[in-house]
């Protein structure tokens, strides 16, 4: 009796191992994106395979900190370098992808974007606005916020080099935050609480 019972256990164990082997041996899909040198700026993110319109491509990850911490952290950064990986989630939280960030931080600005940012439950995602072909660089509109009192020389550091036919020549939003009509500001905030944002230093 004991021997027969042991035989049944062994058979079940072997069946489980065969199933595990099938799972382990199953081919894995190629990643959606890859990071390499960009003609726009530094590193860029490219489609490794075809990405369909509406695909949620990647989450924007990094350390979640307050606005005050973000400002203090980069206060002493060289003024000739306006580049950071800060993304505004809402009025309280900023994601610093320079700390524990992922490949999403390398997606460059584009005036003719193929991606957009979506905030859900205080998390930031990058989604495809249209079908993106393999080898195509991903880009979204940063819309960095600024004020009419900001130093023009400092704002000039946020020039855009995306090369699109519709390029505005800047990564900044079209209007300064202190000149926008209140109703327009509320509508935009309701749609995308954080989006891109900047004061004296770029915050997406």
* SS3 (DSSP) at 72: helix
Q: Are 171 and 113 in contact (CB under 8 A)?
A: no
pLDDT score, position 145: 81
Q: What is the CATH number of the domain that holds 78?
A: 2.170.270.10
Alpha helices in 25-157 (DSSP H): 67-73, 152-155
Q: Indicate the average pLDDT of the chain.
A: 80
Give the range of the structural domain holding residue 143, as residue numbers without chain letter. Answer: 2-203
- Distance between CA 94 and CA 165 in Å, rounded? 32
Kind plus residue range of the DSSP H or E element containing 15: helix 2-24
**Which pLDDT score is estimated for 75?**
79
Q: Which residues have CB under 8 Å from 86's CB, separation 6+?
A: 70, 74, 94, 95, 96, 97, 98, 201, 202, 203, 204
- The yes-or-no verdict on residue 54 having pLDDT over 90 is yes
**Residue 8: per-residue pLDDT:** 46
**Residue 194 pLDDT:** 40
- pLDDT of residue 82 exceeding 70, the answer is no
How many domains does the chain divide into?
Answer: 1
Residue 97: Cβ within 10 Å count: 21
**Cα dihedral sign for 19, 21, 23, 27?**
negative
Question: E strands along the chain, which residues?
Answer: 33-37, 43-47, 56-59, 63-66, 86-88, 93-96, 108-109, 115-120, 123-128, 139-140, 197-198, 202-203
pLDDT at 169: 94
pTM: predicted TM-score of the whole model, two decimal places:
0.73
**pLDDT of 175 strictly over 70:** yes
Q: Report whether 44 contacts 35 (CB < 8 A).
A: yes
Q: Residues 25, 87: contact at Cβ < 8 Å?
A: no
Instruction: Measure the CA–CA gap between 127 and 163, rounded to whole angstroms.
Output: 21
What are the distances in angstroms from CA 7 to CA 14, 16, 61, 95?
Answer: 11, 14, 50, 57
Identify the pLDDT of residue 104: 97
């Amino acid at each position: 009796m004991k021997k027969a019972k042991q035989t049944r256990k062994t058979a079940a164990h072997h069946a489980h191992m065969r199933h595990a082997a099938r799972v382990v041996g199953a081919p894995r899909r190629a990643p959606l994106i890859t990071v390499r040198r960009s003609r726009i700026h530094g590193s860029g993110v490219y489609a490794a395979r075809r990405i369909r319109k509406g695909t949620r491509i990647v989450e924007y990850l990094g350390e979640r900190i307050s606005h005050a911490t973000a400002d203090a952290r980069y206060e002493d950064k060289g003024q000739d370098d306006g580049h950071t990986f800060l993304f505004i989630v809402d009025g309280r939280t900023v994601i610093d992808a320079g700390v524990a960030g992922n490949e999403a931080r390398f997606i460059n600005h584009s005036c003719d974007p193929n991606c957009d940012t979506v905030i859900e439950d205080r998390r930031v995602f990058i989604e495809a606005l249209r079908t993106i072909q393999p080898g195509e660089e991903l880009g979204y509109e940063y819309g960095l916020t600024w004020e009419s009192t900001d130093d023009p020389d400092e704002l000039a550091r946020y020039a855009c080099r995306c090369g699109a036919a519709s390029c505005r020549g800047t990564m900044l939003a079209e209007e300064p935050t202190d000149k926008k009509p209140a109703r327009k500001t509320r509508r935009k905030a309701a749609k995308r609480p954080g989006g891109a944002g900047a004061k004296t230093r770029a915050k997406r």
